[in-house]
Structure 1
Amino acid sequence: MGITLPLALFEQAKRHATKDKPALLSWVHECPQDLAPHLLYQKAKDAFSGERFFWQNPEMTLTLAGFGVTEQYLAADKAKDAFSGLEDKINALKLRTVTNATEKGTGPLYFGGFKFDPERETDKEWQAFKDGLFYLPLFLVTKKGKEVFLTVNLVVYPDDEVKKLEAVRGQWEKIIDAKRPEMEVDALITAKELETDEFLENARDIIALLKDSEDLHKVVLSRRMGLRFSKQIDSGAVLQKMMDTQENSYFFVMEKGAALFFGATPERLVAVSEDKIHSSCVAGSARRGSTKEEDEQLGNALLKDAKNLREHHYVVEMIEETLQQFADDLTISSEPVLLKNRDIQHLYMNVHAKKRNDVNILQIARALHPTPALGGSPKDLARAIIRMKETSDRGFYGGPIGFIDTDFDGEFAVAIRSGLVIDALGVLYAGCGIVSDSVPEEELQETKVKFQPMLRVLGGNVE
């Protein structure tokens, strides 16, 4: 599939550029509707391994696949909040961009995520991601409904020649013409639960704190599963397995050199489209049944369970109070329903509001994160206890992950049901909400259930 070179737009970008401040040429080309973003992600492996990402929303109405990194934002400056740093980066980018983009989800768009707790020292395995990492891709394939678009983001200097465009077109044609690589996820050697005794001890300590405190209501405690593979796994195969085995989830993968962060999360943090805000309240969980009758029984019990309903209420209350600072006409579902994934089901409610003119999605995401579903209630106190009790850095687990454009429209999910693999070693994460009437052994069992989706994706044994 050839792409027409945007010669007039290229000349405009050259006029807009200076030697010290190059322009960004972001041109959009409509593609055949049978072009599949996840297949292109796989075909781009040889050319752009370590520089790819993929995103798909649960409704499958928007899919993004990016490869190549034209620019990146790495939040390594502890003196500046990562959300504010990205906001500054996007504002500066918009001033130097020349684009023909008219469709949302195309044009200059950053994809990436933020660390769960920037106040915590970054562990070795998360060093490449720091407090936040976002890519502006060289190639972005966007599927909206049935329509497919290619965005090419290219830095342009005043003296650039057309051969620069021709070289990029050649790169794209190599991807299109490449064979789909052989993919397999069968290299898992060991999967070992970590910190089991510490988790139980911490849960008991936190329950005691909750019973003694009038201010503390909930703390989300997490733990890890260590993974070892016989070889470096293929992120395209991981993506395909997630799409084949999971449902009602955001699918995301993000490569950073030899590191791969991936997941299939059911939880939206916030989406902004023009003046509309969407969020969701996901908390409380139960396993899926092995039969239709058992599944219905477990789901009905979850809808009536006082502990899980209380956990869910903390999330609803916090999201409602937070969004009232940024929005008007806020509406929330009247009562929770069941959100069912393959291995687990949750209590779920929708939230909609009208955004005020003077705020943007990054400000909203920063205020919402972490919700009581991933941190606890109240937020600051719960996160301080997590910092004290958990010996390992969560990294991007539980943090916001998603995309944002230069109009500050975009969407962030909460990066749960996720894992990190570097070369042939990896770790999965799972957490659960501890409240005053929690039973530590039951919470441990809940985390076992939450390991299962990604363990299944990686070829491990599931219960």
Structure 2
Amino acid sequence: MISFLFSLRSCFLKVSRGVKTPLFCYNGVVSEGNEGEMSNMGLTLPIELFQQAKRTMISQQENVLLSWVCELPDGAAKRVFDQGNEAFKGERFFWQNKERTLRLAGLGATDQLHVEQGQDRFLMLHTRKEQVLRQTVTNSEETACGAVYFGGFSFDDQHDTSPEWERFGEGFFYLPLFLVTEKEDCCYLSVNVWLSEHDDYEKIEAVMAQWDKLISSPIRSNPDVACISEERLAEDAWLLAAEDVVALLQEVTSMQKVVLARRMRLGFDGFISSSRIIAHMEEQQANSYCFVLENGTSTFFGATPERLLLADVDHLESACVAGSIARGETAGEDAILGETLLSDAKNLAEHHFVVEMIEATLARFCKDVQVSASPTLLKNRDIQHLYMTVSGQRGEAKMLDVLRELHPTPALGGWPQAEAMAVIRLKEEADRGFYGAPIGWIDPLDRGEFAVAIRSALVTGTNALLYAGCGIVADSVPAEELAETAIKFQPMLRVLGGRVHERS
């Protein structure tokens, strides 16, 4: 029989690949798990782990989070997400990293964090995560498994939250009841359940029966919906704001850049399926993170190329993505455009601001900071960017402390940061919400990854708001910057079936 060893902080077993061989119970018989039989039989959480959780609860005199992790030989995160459409719609998330080596699908909310204005959002998430960790009994320390929180922050916690973003507030995260983690040719299931002193094993049985019902559910096809309206919002006002910012930057030479964002609205003849959104993003938006975060009738999603922070035990890494140009219609044209971007002084200057800021930030938290030698091209379907990486040895840095200092980078806010944010608050009336802000996941041992939520949209009911921005510098031409934002709308227009404006 497996012996589980726990403590308040170090309650994780160090075993092969981070997961202790699970116990399964079939018809009341407890035995070592046979992975080959998992696809044919329901899973039962080991009663020994439940009993250990109850003992821990008694000794600590507080509720305990039981977090069980096992391998799913035939698991698939996207399939489970789709199967959860009826039982968990409005309480799901999906994440796929840029390299497509990690997929997460979360269903149900065992714990939820909603940050209101005036609260320290990064500290609140860190405190909640640490508190839950102290109360957790688990059989795993596998990365991106167990008590993983997924969600995002608002772009600017000093901006009043607009009605369409109220469900998300200044920060919104949840710990899923069921988490499927697909990585490194393996797939894991995490089951996260709070236990109180009055709970018995029947609660666990009910949860596992819910899982059995979920994975036996058919994947129902979603009805086609059509985009029936398209409105580019406040273009004239945006052009005037851009002109004002250019004049300001020409006058105040200590300011180098301000990023202005704008929106467009799409209307549909029905409700948009998150499953279909994911399928379209995977098909159309290679070399991008794909994310979906549902909260009731609101869904925030995107296909972003930009990593903000990757954190493992001893390593931190960020990406410097800035400057942009369209893709060519032929390989030759694409190459010419790419070379133009690599030699363009304005775009190189914008990119340099980002590199300097990220390097300086990581240097405050890391040893041996490394910066890639020179910009390369990061190519997506509709747009290409200048790209470099910055990394370092982590030391004792807390992930959310680093994240706080990185956001917003000059690519999304401007430079200097504080002055640029002041101008944005003055010139942008619309609430960016989660657009341009950190979105991602963090696990119990402070490992995780956050991307910058660009190329993104918010769906509420049968409407969608799309967001795009660009950096304004002293020699910017507002009409040209407006055209650049139009290119940046293209990825989400494709995903949603809107009218894509191809270049002539």
Whether the TM-score (by the shorter chain) exceeds 0.5 is: yes
Shorter chain as denominator, the TM-score bin is over 0.9
For the 8 Å contact 1:186–1:458, the answer to whether it is kept is no
For the 8 Å contact 1:184–1:237, the answer to whether it is kept is no
Within a 5 Å distance, the mapping from 1:34-73 to structure 2 comes to 34-73=74-113
Structure 1 residue 280 and structure 2 residue 319: aligned? yes
Structure 1 residue 302 and structure 2 residue 380: aligned? no
Q: Count residues with an aligned counterpart.
A: 460
For the 8 Å contact 2:288–2:306, the answer to whether it is kept is yes
For the 8 Å contact 2:45–2:68, the answer to whether it is kept is no
For the 8 Å contact 1:267–1:282, the answer to whether it is kept is yes
Within a 5 Å distance, the mapping from 1:256-295 to structure 2 comes to 256-295=295-334
SS at match of 1:17: helix
SS at match of 1:365: helix
Q: Aligned equivalents of 1:159 and 1:460: distance in 2?
A: 52
Within a 5 Å distance, the mapping from 1:146-157 to structure 2 comes to 146-157=185-196
Amino acid at match of 2:84: A
Q: Aligned equivalents of 2:428 and 2:391: distance in 1?
A: 34
Q: Aligned equivalents of 1:132 and 1:20: distance in 2?
A: 30
Amino acid at match of 1:107: G
Within a 5 Å distance, the mapping from 1:15-414 to structure 2 comes to 15-17=55-57, 21-32=62-73, 34-76=74-116, 78=118, 80-184=119-223, 186-357=225-396, 359-414=397-452
- Shift in Å at residue 139 of structure 1? 0.2
Q: Aligned equivalents of 1:7 and 1:130: distance in 2?
A: 39
Which residue of structure 2 lines up, in the alignment, with residue 418 of structure 1? 456
- Shift in Å at residue 17 of structure 1? 2.2
Q: Which moved more, 1:19-28 or 1:166-175?
A: 19-28
- Shift in Å at residue 274 of structure 1? 0.3
Amino acid at match of 2:104: L
Which residue of structure 1 lines up, in the alignment, with residue 14 of structure 2? none
For the 8 Å contact 1:62–1:144, the answer to whether it is kept is yes
Q: Aligned equivalents of 1:279 and 1:334: distance in 2?
A: 15
SS at match of 1:59: coil
Within a 5 Å distance, the mapping from 1:434-453 to structure 2 comes to 434-453=472-491
CA deviations on 1:343-389 (whole Å, 9 max, x unpaired) are 100000011101121x2110000000000000000111101110110
Q: Aligned equivalents of 1:200 and 1:397: distance in 2?
A: 20
Q: Aligned equivalents of 2:434 and 2:369: distance in 1?
A: 29
Q: Any runs of at least 4 consecutive aligned residues in structure 1 with deviations exceeding 4 A, and if so which?
A: none
- Shift in Å at residue 173 of structure 1? 1.1
For the 8 Å contact 2:225–2:271, the answer to whether it is kept is no
SS at match of 2:364: coil
- Shift in Å at residue 104 of structure 1? 0.6
SS at match of 2:291: strand
Q: Aligned equivalents of 2:395 and 2:413: distance in 1?
A: 27
For the 8 Å contact 1:232–1:423, the answer to whether it is kept is yes
Q: Aligned equivalents of 1:199 and 1:20: distance in 2?
A: 57
- Shift in Å at residue 293 of structure 1? 0.8
- Shift in Å at residue 88 of structure 1? 0.8
Amino acid at match of 1:345: Q
Q: Aligned equivalents of 1:186 and 1:338: distance in 2?
A: 35
Q: Aligned equivalents of 2:62 and 2:294: distance in 1?
A: 28
For the 8 Å contact 1:211–1:436, the answer to whether it is kept is yes
SS at match of 2:214: helix
Percent of pairs with identical residues: 52
For the 8 Å contact 1:276–1:354, the answer to whether it is kept is yes
Q: Aligned equivalents of 2:267 and 2:497: distance in 1?
A: 12
Amino acid at match of 1:158: E
Q: Aligned equivalents of 1:356 and 1:36: distance in 2?
A: 34
- Shift in Å at residue 20 of structure 1? 7.3
Q: Aligned equivalents of 2:494 and 2:418: distance in 1?
A: 34
- Shift in Å at residue 83 of structure 1? 0.2
Give the TM-score normalised by the residue count of structure 2: 0.90
Which of 1 and 2 has higher RCO (CA within 8 Å, sep 6+)? Answer: 1
- Shift in Å at residue 184 of structure 1? 4.9
- Shift in Å at residue 315 of structure 1? 0.2
SS at match of 2:381: coil
- Shift in Å at residue 159 of structure 1? 2.6
Amino acid at match of 1:21: E
- Shift in Å at residue 77 of structure 1? 5.4
Q: Aligned equivalents of 1:361 and 1:91: distance in 2?
A: 12
CA-atom RMSD, angstroms? 1.2
Q: Aligned equivalents of 2:180 and 2:330: distance in 1?
A: 39
- Shift in Å at residue 185 of structure 1? 5.2
For the 8 Å contact 1:14–1:159, the answer to whether it is kept is no
Give the TM-score normalised by the residue count of structure 1: 0.98
For the 8 Å contact 1:210–1:218, the answer to whether it is kept is yes
Q: Aligned equivalents of 1:184 and 1:292: distance in 2?
A: 37
Q: Aligned equivalents of 1:173 and 1:111: distance in 2?
A: 24
Amino acid at match of 1:4: T
CA deviations on 1:3-32 (whole Å, 9 max, x unpaired) are 132211111111222697310000001101
Amino acid at match of 2:246: I
Q: Aligned equivalents of 1:378 and 1:82: distance in 2?
A: 22
CA deviations on 1:160-196 (whole Å, 9 max, x unpaired) are 1211111111111111111112135533211211111
CA deviations on 1:180-239 (whole Å, 9 max, x unpaired) are 121355332112111110111111100011111122100000000011111121111111
Q: Aligned equivalents of 1:69 and 1:210: distance in 2?
A: 46
- Shift in Å at residue 337 of structure 1? 0.3
- Shift in Å at residue 461 of structure 1? 1.3
Which residue of structure 1 lines up, in the alignment, with residue 53 of structure 2? 13
